[in-house]
Structure 1
Amino acid sequence: MYDINDSRYARQLVLRGFGPAAQEKLANARVLIVGAGGLGSPVASYLAAAGVGTMSLVDTDVVDLTNLHRQLLYATPDVGRRKVDVARERLLAINPQVVVHTHDTRLNAANAATLIAGHDVVIDATDNFPTRYAINDACLAQGIPFVYGSVARFDGQVSVFAAPGGPCYRCLFPVMPAPGTVPTCAEEGVLGVVPGIIGLHQATEAIKLLTTIGTPLVGQLLLVDLLAQDSQRIVVARRHDCPACGDARLPSPPSMSIQHLSPADVAALLTGDDAPTIIDVREQWEYDLVHLPVSTLIPLSTLASRANDLDPSRSYALLCHHGMRSEMAANWLMQHGFLRLINIDGGIDAWSMDVDSSLPRY
C-alpha cells in the first residue's frame, strides 16, 4: 500500500467524513473496469487519481479515430494501439502509486468468474448486453457489487447492482433484448460529453462503495438527460421472480454454453466432417467489403426474424468484425434453443491477420 498521507491526496484527506480512514480503504481496494472506452476512460482516470490501489482493465479493442471525441485517455498518435496498453501508460502517468493490471480479452460468460474474482467492486463500462449479463451473474455468484452505466445520444443511466440486499440487473431487465432491437452508439451516436458525465457518476459510486460513505445507488436508477440538464431517480426493486437472484431462480443447464474459438481453431473445424455453418452477422456493406466464401450473411438486426430458417440441432459459428456482435447473436440464439454455438473471437479482422492475409481489413 502507498503512503496515504502523500500530498496528492491532500484535498481528500481534509474532507470531513472522508479523511485518512477512507483514503486507506481506497489504497487497499481492488477494482475491475470492464471496458476501456467512453465510460471506462473517465472512470479509470478518476479512480487512479483518487488513489484506488489496484485496478484491472478488461478490453480487447484498439484505439480508433472515432473514439477520440469521447475517450480522453487516448490521443491521435495512439490510433491503432491496444487500448489497455495506452490506458495503463496514462493511468500510471496520472498516479504512479497505483497498480494497473490489463487483460486483452473480452469478458464473457465463460471467463467472467475468473476475471471478477478477488475484486471489491466491478465497473460495467461495456456497450453490449452479453457482457453486461455475464457481469451481473458472476457478481451475484461472488457477492461483489457492480456499478452499471449506459449511454445513448444525449442520455445516460447509472445504478449499483448485485449489492447485498439490492436488486440485480436482471431484476430490471430479465431477458436479454433480441439482436437489433436496441441501437448501438455506432448506429445512433452519442454526444462526447455524455459518457464522460456518466463515467464520473460511476466513479463516484465506486468510491462510495469502497469507502462506505454516502448512499450508493442501490435500488435506484439515475436517469440523466443532458439536453434538458435534467435528472431523476426511479426505484428498482428486487424481484422475487428474478431469474438470477429471485426466490425461484433456476440454474442454467450445463449444456447451455457458447464456445469461444480463435479463427485458426474454426478454420481447422471447417476441414472436418462436422464443420459448423458460419453465420456472418455484419451489415451488407461490410459483407460486400470482405467476407468468407463459406459464410451466410444474416445481419444482427434481422436475426430475430430469420432464426426460423436455422436448424437448432446444427452447429453454428458466429462471425462479425471484431467478435462483439457475433457474441450478442450467439447469446440470443442460445436463449432460443440453439445449443451448438461458437463465437469466432476477434471476428473477420482476426481471421485476416491469423488465417488468410489476402482478406482486406477495414
Structure 2
Amino acid sequence: MPGKQVNNTDDAFHDSEDAGRYSRQVVLSGFGLAAQQKLKEARVLIVGAGGLGVPVLQYLTGMGIGTIGIIDADVVSLSNLHRQVLYNENDIGKSKVETAVNKLSKLNRNVRFEAYNQLLSVQNALEIVINYDIVVDATDNISTRYLINDACVISHKPFVYGAVQQFEGHVSVFNYLNGPTYRCLYSTPPANGEIPDCNTAGVLGVTPAIVGSQQALQVVKLITGIGKTLSGYLQIFDFLQDEQYKMKLKIRAESRQITALRNSYAEVVCNTVLKLSVDELFDWYESGKQFQLIDVRELKDFQTGHLTGAVSIPYNQFNTGEIHINNKQPVVMFCQKGARSNSTAQMLQQRYPEAEIYSVLGGMEYWEDEFDDEYIITPDLQNGGGSTV
C-alpha cells in the first residue's frame, strides 16, 4: 500500500548542496560519504507523529534519510504543543501527518515523504511495513506496538522502540540480526488501563525529545553500521534522578515464530500480576506472614535502606532464568515507586504462571510516607547488598 507521495526528488546525488548540508557529519571519522549515501538510499517508516515521532522525524529529515514514511490519523491539539514542538498554535485541528510533511519538506527538500493519514491496522500493516528498511515505533498505544512487532517479525524488518511514562524512558532495537523481539521483553500485553498513557500519567515536555533523539540515533546506526546498537538491551532513563542503565534481554524462541497477524490487537489480555498496597504489606509484617521480598532498586539504594527480609536483584541485572522462587510462598516485588516492580513481576509471572506474585504500589516512597523507617534495615552489611532468590 503506497503512501501519498508528497514530494519527489530525482535520484541524482546533489553533490554541491549535500557537501554543505551534511558536511558536519560527513567529516566524522568512520562516517564519511559512504555512510551519507546509505542514509540517502534508506527507507524508514515512523509510526506516530507525536511526542516521540516529532524528534525522530526532525533529525532523520535533517540528516538526509532518502525516504520517510509517516503514519498517523491524529490531528494537532493544544495539549500536544508543550512536547510536539514541530507544530504551533496555528496548526491546531490540522492533520499531524500533513502538517509534519509540509514543515519537514522546508527543512530538507531532498527527502521524499510518504504520508499515511490513517491508523496502522491489521488490514494494512504488512502491506505498509514491507516497503521500508526500518520501522520506528513512536506510538503511545500498546496494542499498536504489538502489531508493529508482529508485522516486523513476519516481514523480517528491524524496529526501533521508544516509550515514555512520567519521568522514565525506554529505548531498544528489536528483531535485528536474530536479536530479541518486543515479545521477548513482554510476551503478552497488560490488561487494558494497566499502564497509563501520557494523557493520564502525564509527561514532561522535554522527555520525549530525549527518547526520540535516541531512537533517531539507533536508526542511523542500523543504516550505516557505525557503533553499537541497542539490540539485545533495553536502555532505561530515569530523568528525575539523571540516571540511565541497560538491561540485557533474553531471546524467547517462540517470539520469533510468528507467521501471521492476529485477527485483532484490541483484545484485553489479562495481566495476572497482583497489586499490594504498603498498608497490606505492613500488615503482613505485623502478622508474621511468610513471603519472599525482592527489591529491584539499584544496589546503592538497597544498601542505603531496605525492608526486612528483602533480597536485592537490581532491575538492570534482572534475569528470570536465574531466579528460583518458592511457589508455597507469595513473592513480593518492590522498587522505589512501583513501575519497575510491576515490570519485573510481569516477567517473573510469565516464568512462574502458578506463583502468587505481587507488585507493591508506590514502593519505598509510599512506605516511607506511611511508616517512616519501620521494618527498614540500614545499612546492609550482611549480604553485600545482593543475593539471588
Q: TM-score, normalised by structure 2?
A: 0.64
1:86 equivalent in structure 2: 99
Whether the aligned pair in 2 keeps the contact of 1:108 and 1:130 (CA below 8 Å) is no
SS in 1 for 2:22: helix
Whether the aligned pair in 1 keeps the contact of 2:71 and 2:117 (CA below 8 Å) is yes
Aligned-residue offset at 1:109 = 2.3
* Equivalent-residue separation in structure 2 for 1:147 and 1:201 (angstroms): 10
Among 194, 198, 201, the alignment partner of 1:188 is: 201
Q: What do residues 214-255 of structure 1 show as CA deviations (whole Å, max 9, x unaligned)?
A: 111000100001111100001011113x3x31xxx4756x9x
Q: What do residues 18-62 of structure 1 show as CA deviations (whole Å, max 9, x unaligned)?
A: 000000000000000000000000000000000001000000000
SS in 1 for 2:246: strand
State the AA in 2 paired with 1:118: N
Query: Any residues of structure 2 matched to 1:5-20 within 5 Å, and which?
Result: 5-20=18-33
Q: CA separation of 1:174/1:59 partners in 2, compared to 1, >3 Å: closer, same or farther?
A: same
2:147 equivalent in structure 1: 134
Whether the aligned pair in 2 keeps the contact of 1:143 and 1:164 (CA below 8 Å) is no
1:43 equivalent in structure 2: 56
Q: CA separation of 1:236/1:258 partners in 2, compared to 1, >3 Å: closer, same or farther?
A: closer
Whether the aligned pair in 1 keeps the contact of 2:154 and 2:259 (CA below 8 Å) is no
Whether the aligned pair in 1 keeps the contact of 2:189 and 2:271 (CA below 8 Å) is no
1:3 equivalent in structure 2: 14
SS in 2 for 1:217: coil
1:324 equivalent in structure 2: none
Kindly tell me the number of residue pairs found equivalent between the two proteins. 259
1:234 equivalent in structure 2: 247
* Equivalent-residue separation in structure 1 for 2:271 and 2:247 (angstroms): 33
Matched, 1:99 2:105: no
Query: Any residues of structure 2 matched to 1:118-133 within 5 Å, and which?
Result: 118-133=131-146
Aligned-residue offset at 1:258 = 3.9
State the AA in 2 paired with 1:3: H
Aligned-residue offset at 1:110 = 2.4
Query: Any residues of structure 2 matched to 1:219-298 within 5 Å, and which?
Result: 219-240=232-253, 242=254, 244-245=255-256, 249=257, 257-258=263-264
Query: Any residues of structure 2 matched to 1:149-188 within 5 Å, and which?
Result: 149-188=162-201
Aligned-residue offset at 1:118 = 1.9
Q: CA separation of 1:238/1:259 partners in 2, compared to 1, >3 Å: closer, same or farther?
A: closer
* Equivalent-residue separation in structure 1 for 2:258 and 2:27 (angstroms): 49
State the AA in 2 paired with 1:26: L
2:45 equivalent in structure 1: 32
State the AA in 1 paired with 2:151: A
SS in 2 for 1:66: helix
* Equivalent-residue separation in structure 2 for 1:79 and 1:250 (angstroms): 40
Q: What do residues 259-297 of structure 1 show as CA deviations (whole Å, max 9, x unaligned)?
A: 99xxxxxxxxxxxxxxxxxxxx9xxxxxxxxxxxxxxxx
Matched, 1:56 2:33: no
SS in 2 for 1:186: helix
1:295 equivalent in structure 2: none
Whether the aligned pair in 1 keeps the contact of 2:150 and 2:258 (CA below 8 Å) is no
* Equivalent-residue separation in structure 2 for 1:223 and 1:62 (angstroms): 30
State the AA in 2 paired with 1:110: Q
- Identity, in percent, stands at 45
User: Greater CA radius of gyration, 1 or 2?
Assistant: 2
* Equivalent-residue separation in structure 2 for 1:203 and 1:197 (angstroms): 10
* Equivalent-residue separation in structure 1 for 2:59 and 2:258 (angstroms): 39
* Equivalent-residue separation in structure 1 for 2:221 and 2:121 (angstroms): 27
SS in 2 for 1:204: helix
Whether the aligned pair in 1 keeps the contact of 2:190 and 2:271 (CA below 8 Å) is no
* Equivalent-residue separation in structure 2 for 1:250 and 1:225 (angstroms): 33
* Equivalent-residue separation in structure 1 for 2:81 and 2:144 (angstroms): 23
**What's the C-alpha RMSD, in Å, of the aligned pairs?**
2.3
Q: Which runs of 5+ in 2 are unaligned?
A: 1-10, 273-389
SS in 1 for 2:68: strand
